[in-house]
Amino acid sequence: MEKLSSPKKTIEIIQKYNFDFQKKFGQNFLIDSHVLQKIIDAAHITKDDFVLEIGPGIGTMTQYLSEHAREVMAVEIDHNLIPILKETLAGYDNVEVLNEDILKVDIGKIAEEKNQGRPIKVVANLPYYITTPIIMGLFEKNVPMDSLTVMVQKEVAQRMQAVPGTKDYGALSLAVQFYAEPYIVANVPPNCFMPRPKVGSAVIRLTRYKDMPIKVKNEKLMFSIIRASFNQRRKTLQNGINNSSALHFSKEQVVEALGEMELSPTIRGEALSLEQFARLSDLLEG
């Protein structure tokens, strides 16, 4: 099958199958071969790799992945795309398409069965309405994974890569950076997609840490503290923690812990690094 990565070829397929784009599934298909090549290069895929693609659409990126990887599994929720994928991926015999909701798939089991539990690579032009649950689900469920190379909304990519003290820094930056090292590969304008999204996009690679650099006694507690600190951005960290219904520390406990870290009692959450949040969590846990 001829490569799909041109507007002409994409329109041809869409018309042939009378396909209706579903907004609710975040369907914006890539129609730019340079961007596709950039994603493939950034993902460092080799013939040893098992690649999971989330949301193949009509199979544009899947064709590229198939040529570079040992094996590809593409999980697509929209059953109307399945007959299209049958045609566009005919002849790409290292690809399997699964008609499922990615949020309901046991990816750990797939890695076990298809890659003997060795780390997989995840590559996707993600449906933007579920970017965070997909990414955090992969990390939190400890799916064996080398890296995630994904297209996301530009602002979301910036938040994932943000450092303390910047306007984009927040709970998402800390959650992602606890598990992985982020690197924004490229910004991608709306005209590279069909239909054009309203927002700018970016490709980001998240390289999963083999040894997590930040150790914390109680991860759950640390993330509750992080969420509480950024819930009320203009308030102090201490206020955020004391106003949270998920946490039960007194004002004195928080001020004492901050003092032990040589931090001001009026410091704001956005000034703290991940390492400092981990230390604060350990001190409060006692």
Residues of this chain that bind ligand SAM (CB under 6 A): 25-30, 54-57, 60-61, 75-78, 101-103, 125, 127, 130
Task: Give the DSSP H/E element, type plus range, for residue 237.
Answer: helix 237-243
- Taking the complex as a whole, the smallest distance from the CB of residue 74 to ligand SAM amounts, in Å, to 8
Question: At 99, which amino acid appears?
Answer: N
Closest CB to ligand SAM among 30 and 143?
A: 30
- Taking the complex as a whole, the smallest distance from the CB of residue 102 to ligand SAM amounts, in Å, to 4
**Hunting for tokens 């209706």 — which residue is that?**
20
155 labelled as ligand-binding? Answer: no
Closest CB to ligand SAM among 120 and 257?
A: 120
Closest CB to ligand SAM among 13 and 222?
A: 13
Residue number closest to ligand SAM, CB atom:
55
Q: How far apart are CA 269 and CA 168, in angstroms?
A: 12
Q: How far apart are CA 24 and CA 263, in angstroms?
A: 45
55 labelled as ligand-binding? Answer: yes
- Taking the complex as a whole, the smallest distance from the CB of residue 100 to ligand SAM amounts, in Å, to 7
286 labelled as ligand-binding? Answer: no
Q: How far apart are CA 50 and CA 52, in angstroms?
A: 7
CB within 8 A of 93, min separation 6: which ones? Answer: none
239 labelled as ligand-binding? Answer: no
- Taking the complex as a whole, the smallest distance from the CB of residue 183 to ligand SAM amounts, in Å, to 20
Q: How far apart are CA 283 and CA 23, in angstroms?
A: 46
Closest CB to ligand SAM among 90 and 199?
A: 199
- Taking the complex as a whole, the smallest distance from the CB of residue 240 to ligand SAM amounts, in Å, to 32
Closest CB to ligand SAM among 60 and 242?
A: 60
Closest CB to ligand SAM among 77 and 122?
A: 77
- Taking the complex as a whole, the smallest distance from the CB of residue 88 to ligand SAM amounts, in Å, to 11
262 labelled as ligand-binding? Answer: no
28 labelled as ligand-binding? Answer: yes
Q: How far apart are CA 154 and CA 188, in angstroms?
A: 8
- Taking the complex as a whole, the smallest distance from the CB of residue 279 to ligand SAM amounts, in Å, to 37
Question: At 278, which amino acid appears?
Answer: A
Give the burial string for 210-231 (b: 16+ CB within 10 Å, else e). Answer: eeeebebeeeebbbbbbbbbbb
Quickly list DSSP for 63-118: HHHHHHSSEEEEE---GGGHHHHHHHTTT-TTEEEE-S-GGGS-HHHHHHHHHTTP
Closest CB to ligand SAM among 94 and 231?
A: 94
CB within 8 A of 35, min separation 6: which ones? Answer: 186, 188, 192, 203
Binding site, by residue number, is 28, 30, 55, 76, 101, 125
Binding site for S-adenosyl-L-methionine, by residue number, is 28, 30, 55, 76, 101, 125
